Amino acid sequence: MPEDVLQGWLQALLNGVVSGSLLALPALGFSAIFAVLRFPNFAVGALATAGAYAAWVVNARLGLPVGAGVAAAFLVAALVGVLLEAAALERLGRGGALMKAIGSLAMAMVLENALRFAFGNDLQAFDLPLARDMLLGPVRIGPQQINNFLVAIAVMAALWAFLALTPLGRSMRAVADNPDLARLKGVNPRRIALITVAAGAGLCGVGGTLIGLDTAIDPLLGGRVLLSVFAAAVLGGLGSIPGAVAGAFVIGIAEEFTVLALSPSYRMAVGFVVILAVLTVRPAGLLGSRAA
Amino acid sequence: MTDVSRRHLLGGTVLAAGVLALPGLVRAQQDGPIKLGTLTPLTGSGGSYGPGMAEVVKKAAAEINQAGGVLGRPLSIISEDDQTNPEAGLRAARKLIDIDGVSAIIGTWASSVTTAVAPVCWQAGVLLATVSGADSITRLPHNGFIIRTQPNTSLQGRKFGEFALEVGAKTVAFMSPQTPFTDAQFAELTKVVTAAGGKTTSLIYDDKKTTFRTEVDQVLRGRPDAIVMGGYTTDTAVLIRDLYRANYRGKLLGFAYAVNRQLVEALPADVSEGIYTLSPSAAEGSGGYGRVAKLLGVDAPDTYACQVYDHLNLIALAMAAGGGATGAIVRDHLRKVAQGGGQPVNNAAEGLRMLAAGGKVDYDGASGPCDFTEIGDITDARFRYEQVQGGKITLLKIA
């Protein structure tokens, strides 16, 4: 029996890592946007859904490979994110961060219903065979999970390289650190803000696509994970890029372990208890630096 | 002499007092048409069913009237709209009872509307015949004034258990999100399966999760040979995928409203292959069903139209059997015409003739056998059993 329990724990841990990697991309997008624009953009869920539908159109309707779908998801979600920012949210900026946050919730509803109007409420699935899981010693994992995990890791690595190594990435970090100083140095904050939104929204789109690959696509796909994404970003320290990744894995693993011990009705509660515990000890989040 | 006149006086007084004490509706029902109300959702979320329900009752009543009516009196049907809204339903019920003076109300559809309307009915002694499914409805203190033809959620759980045994399962797992009827369903399922020497386990999941891998692992540890899925379409799709990935090769059973065409189309054919679905069904192929189809001029009337057709017939027969047109008489005699042996009959006109000839009838309707428990639930109902075969939902049987 103890062996059984251990096996259950190992499997839950693995499942948690996989679902954490799915949460990580939208959480990264959310955190990046927060770092530069200083408001929580709750449209990330809907942007993830938009990306998933874009990928689905490319894959299932146009018959192109899933890789092309992931690229399309990034581009379409980025474009939609920038449009929302430039057309609506930017103007709300004068009302403060709260106005923008509320505006982003409204935009999420508009976007979600536009998708519903275009694609209907039905479930859609990618044109992919479903593979049985492989056994790796005591635990099992599916090829799709491994793929998703690798894609998520690759995208995170690309983002890190972009931020650390390119001049544009450095400008973004500069604006995030100190917008006034960055402006003095000749960085155009609006341009950087829009680029950040594009990158953040694109990440959400890819994240949504990975969720869609793992499950199925419907207009509520992103909305369902919004709270978990938000929890991951807060846990990691709002605005911290590595923090968002760490937070996503902690939330993912915590949610899977909940299933072993508690009624699933407490899943969300466990996530928030974890946040409470972490923020009590580290008010800035796991890896946050600005304990303002 | 004085004795007689006193007796006369007493008798006259009692009679007068009795007449005055009778509610207006009973006086109105002494002669002239027998008034019955339909309270169906002509608008709101039940709006696609309500109009057909009201129509079939009107037309079936016209048939009965053509054949001479009930107790020599014609039926008069008053149709009201409950708007699939408890508040609007309650107002309409009051109008039907207080102003029109109906002795029975037929057709409330949403459980919330039925729950709101029921107390007004039983307090006024008006019979309420409903198509709502929530278990709680027949548990209200209704004194027998509620009957329903929709299988309640417990009965649905029992059917799942019986069908799981039928396809050879011994260990049945139940996976469901939390719904108001989850517990009742699992309890009934367990009763049936354990009675046959099997065992059951249950796992309640959060339907907003993106994967159910850990949940599936938990359930598969009990090595079930059948899994009953109690969720809705979106979460059931994820669950089926994760069960497939986990190499589960046992039987899968689900509600037809969840394992529907769109779900099957969203899954690769080899993943959905063999899933069984259940749903309450009208008694397709029965004589009563054919009559409803003819009345409405459609090939496949929905189960609700069939149910209200049965309501009207049962009420008409109960009135004839009881020799009166009040709600209490319908309540007291409904089971005498619905069950317990007698000539099987599937429409009121024929049944009324048999009753007039001194016979006994057992009504088997368009929605099913129409036998009721003490609290007003049906004891049995037809279900549709279907299976996904080659990416298509294929009818196995209606039983």
Domain of B102, CATH number, reads 3.40.50.2300
* 3-state SS class at B368: coil
If one counts the domains in chain A, the total is 1
Cβ(B318)–Cβ(B337) below 8 Å: yes
If one counts the domains in chain B, the total is 2
B247: contact with A, CB 8 A cutoff: yes
Q: Exposed, middle or buried by CB within 10 Å (0-12, 13-18, 19+), for B272?
A: buried
Instruction: Provide, rounded to the nearest whole percent, the portion of chain B with pLDDT above 90.
Output: 68
B159 and B272 together in one domain? yes
* Average pLDDT value for residue range A98-123: 91
Beta strand segments in chain A, E: 134-136, 139-141
Chain A residues close to B234, C-beta within 8 Å: 123, 216, 218, 220
Question: Is residue A171 assigned to a domain?
Answer: yes
pLDDT at B18 over 60: no
- Tell me which of A60-74, A245-259, B14-28, B290-304 is least confident: B14-28
B209 and B251 together in one domain? yes
- Calculate how close chain B gets to A42, using CA atoms only, in Å: 17
A49: contact with B, CB 8 A cutoff: no
pLDDT at A261 over 90: no
- Calculate how close chain A gets to B190, using CA atoms only, in Å: 20
Hey, what are B134's tokens?
A: 């929530």
Question: Is residue B12 assigned to a domain?
Answer: no
Question: Is residue A291 assigned to a domain?
Answer: no
Question: Is residue B17 assigned to a domain?
Answer: no
Chain A residues close to B268, C-beta within 8 Å: 125, 128-130
Taking an 8 Å cut-off on Cβ atoms, the answer to whether A264 and B271 are in contact is: no
Question: Is residue B376 assigned to a domain?
Answer: no
- Tell me which of A37-46, A267-276, B33-42 is least confident: A267-276
* Average pLDDT value for residue range A111-130: 87
Q: Residue B21's pLDDT is what? A: 52
Question: Is residue A287 assigned to a domain?
Answer: no
CA dihedral B230, B233, B235, B237 (to 10 degrees): 110
Q: Residue B17's pLDDT is what? A: 54
Structural domain range at position A42 = 2-281
Question: Is residue B22 assigned to a domain?
Answer: no
Give the confidence band of A292 by pLDDT, cuts at 50, 70, 90. very low
pLDDT at B1 over 90: no
Q: Residue B6's pLDDT is what? A: 60
Q: Residue B282's pLDDT is what? A: 87
- Select from B238, B262, B263 the Cβ nearest to the Cβ of A215: B238
* Average pLDDT value for residue range B150-162: 90
Q: Which of B245, B259, B267, B271 to mutate to test the interface with A (most CBs of A within 10 A)?
A: B245
- Select from A4, A16, A122 the Cβ nearest to the Cβ of B262: A122
pLDDT at B2 over 50: no
| Averaged pLDDT score across all residues of chain B | 89
Q: What is the pLDDT of residues A3-26, one digit of tens each?
A: 778 888 898 899 899 889 989 999
Q: Taking the complete model, does pTM exceed 0.80, yes or no?
A: no
Hey, what are A108's tokens?
A: 């999420």
Taking an 8 Å cut-off on Cβ atoms, the answer to whether A133 and B209 are in contact is: no
User: What is the Cα–Cα distance from A165 to B218, expressed in whole angstroms?
Assistant: 45
Give the residue with greater pLDDT, B235 vs B16: B235
Give the confidence band of A291 by pLDDT, cuts at 50, 70, 90. very low
Q: Which of B209, B239, B265 to mutate to test the interface with A (most CBs of A within 10 A)?
A: B209
A267: contact with B, CB 8 A cutoff: yes
- Select from B204, B217, B237 the Cβ nearest to the Cβ of A216: B237
* Average pLDDT value for residue range B108-112: 89
Beta strand segments in chain B, E: 34-40, 75-81, 104-108, 127-130, 146-148, 171-177, 199-205, 226-229, 251-255, 276-280, 343-345, 361-363, 383-389, 392-398
pLDDT at B4 over 70: no
Kindly give, in sequence order, each residue whose CB lies less than 8 Å from that of residue B175, ignoring residues fewer than 6 positions away: B202, B203, B205, B212, B215, B219, B227, B228, B229, B230, B231, B239
Instruction: Provide, rounded to the nearest whole percent, the portion of chain A with pLDDT above 70.
Output: 98
Complex ipTM = 0.81
Structural domain range at position B351 = 31-148+284-363
B254 and B277 together in one domain? yes
Cβ(B389)–Cβ(B273) below 8 Å: yes
Question: Is residue A102 assigned to a domain?
Answer: yes
B106 and B236 together in one domain? no
B269: contact with A, CB 8 A cutoff: no
B208 and B159 together in one domain? yes
- Calculate how close chain A gets to B265, using CA atoms only, in Å: 8
pLDDT at A184 over 60: yes
Question: Is residue B341 assigned to a domain?
Answer: yes
Q: Which of A7, A9, A15, A255 to mutate to test the interface with B (most CBs of B within 10 A)?
A: A15
- Select from A133, A260, A263 the Cβ nearest to the Cβ of B245: A133
Chain A residues close to B205, C-beta within 8 Å: 259, 264
User: What is the Cα–Cα distance from A49 to A206, expressed in whole angstroms?
Assistant: 9
H/E element holding B23?
A: none
> Could you tell me which chain A residue has the CA closest to the CA of B244?
A132
Give the confidence band of B30 by pLDDT, cuts at 50, 70, 90. low
Q: Residue B139's pLDDT is what? A: 92
Taking an 8 Å cut-off on Cβ atoms, the answer to whether A260 and B214 are in contact is: yes
Count CB pairs under 8 A between chains A and B. 96
- Calculate how close chain B gets to A121, using CA atoms only, in Å: 10
Question: Is residue A49 assigned to a domain?
Answer: yes
* Average pLDDT value for residue range B337-358: 93
Question: Is residue A286 assigned to a domain?
Answer: no
Question: Is residue B21 assigned to a domain?
Answer: no
Taking an 8 Å cut-off on Cβ atoms, the answer to whether B218 and A8 are in contact is: yes
CATH number at residue A106: 1.10.3470
pLDDT at B202 over 50: yes
Handedness of CA B13, B18, B21, B24 (dihedral sign): negative
Give the confidence band of B111 by pLDDT, cuts at 50, 70, 90. confident
CA distances (Å), A157 to each of A67, A151, A280, B39, in order? 17, 10, 30, 63
B258 and B317 together in one domain? no
Q: Residue B27's pLDDT is what? A: 46
Give the confidence band of B60 by pLDDT, cuts at 50, 70, 90. very high
Question: Is residue A198 assigned to a domain?
Answer: yes
- Calculate how close chain A gets to B241, using CA atoms only, in Å: 7
Cβ(B132)–Cβ(B152) below 8 Å: no
- Tell me which of A170-179, B79-88, B327-336 is least confident: A170-179
Give the confidence band of B152 by pLDDT, cuts at 50, 70, 90. confident
B272 and B294 together in one domain? no
- Calculate how close chain B gets to A23, using CA atoms only, in Å: 10
Taking an 8 Å cut-off on Cβ atoms, the answer to whether B263 and A123 are in contact is: yes
Chain B residues close to A259, C-beta within 8 Å: 205, 214-215, 218
Give the confidence band of B136 by pLDDT, cuts at 50, 70, 90. confident
- Calculate how close chain B gets to A187, using CA atoms only, in Å: 40
Question: Is residue A30 assigned to a domain?
Answer: yes
> Could you tell me which chain A residue has the CA closest to the CA of B213?
A15
Give the angle A190-A191-A194 at the CA atoms, nearest 5°: 85
For tokens 């057909």, the residue is: B52
Question: Is residue B2 assigned to a domain?
Answer: no
Give the confidence band of B155 by pLDDT, cuts at 50, 70, 90. confident
Q: Residue B123's pLDDT is what? A: 96
- Select from B214, B217, B241 the Cβ nearest to the Cβ of A215: B241
Q: Residue B25's pLDDT is what? A: 46
- Tell me which of A97-101, B45-49, B152-156 is least confident: B45-49
Q: Residue A222's pLDDT is what? A: 92
Q: What is the pLDDT of residues A135-153, one digit of tens each?
A: 888 888 888 889 889 998 9
